[in-house]
A and B are shown apart, each in its own frame.
Chain A
Amino acid sequence: ETGVTQTPRHLVMGMTNKKSLKCEQHLGHNAMYWYKQSAKKPLELMFVYNFKEQTENNSVPSRFSPECPNSSHLFLHLHTLQPEDSALYLCASSQGGGGGNQPQHFGDGTRLSIL
């Protein structure tokens, strides 16, 4: 139990579907992150939220839409995805200002497959 819970663990969707990934952290952290992990590629940072405010958008296509209603919850809304978006999507949280000076705590990810 890492204190960061992601749902669903697996998701299969068509390119025209709309779905959402959810992340919840029980650690009292104030920064939350979305990462994409594809096969044979380094972990890619997508978004950073610090105290519910987005502080980083790493040139992510608009078909990925994050939402952070409070410091404990983070969503990633998906629509009209492409096959190359199939990957493991990881959520993480940390103390501090959303940078790299604190350890990050990861959830177990959502394995996304686009048909």
Chain B
Amino acid sequence: SQQGEEDPQALSIQEGENATMNCSYKTSINNLQWYRQNSGRGLVHLILIRSNEREKHSGRLRVTLDTSKKSSSLLITASRAADTASYFCARISNQGAQKLVFGQGTRLTINP
């Protein structure tokens, strides 16, 4: 399968703690993207990290990419209840037309 694997599948932490979600993939990539999906809503793009980048920040979000290990992580610092959502990594398929392939996601719950 070309699809990435996110782990954990579900994560529950207390508000204020940091949350780390991981994504592994099997094929080479040009870039990797992270998205968030709140319940009943569409996906929202968070960060795009290119294959020649190792780390990227956006507010309380930090994404790392290790192409040698074919893995990426998303760190949310000082979590808030509003961060409760599903988080997906996505990267370009290298078979056929260039298209985004999404993983199954991590369901993150922030407990107040």
Contacts and interface: CB of A to CB of B under 8 A. Distances in A.
Interface of A: 2, 4, 6, 40-43, 45, 48, 55-56, 58, 90, 92, 97-101, 103-109
B61 interface: no
A109 B62 CA distance: 28
A100 B33 CA distance: 9
A69 B102 CA distance: 27
B97 A104 contact: no
Interface of B: 3, 30-31, 33, 40-45, 48, 88, 90-93, 97-105
B41 A100 contact: no
B92 A100 contact: yes
Nearest to B9: A40
For the residues of A in contact with B, the DSSP-based class is loop
Given A100-B90, A107-B42, A108-B41, A41 B33 contact: no
A76 B100 CA distance: 20
B42 A109 contact: yes
Nearest to A50: B97
Contact of B48 (A42, A45, A90, A103): A103
Nearest to B48: A103
Nearest to A4: B42
Contacts of B97: 48, 55-56, 98-99
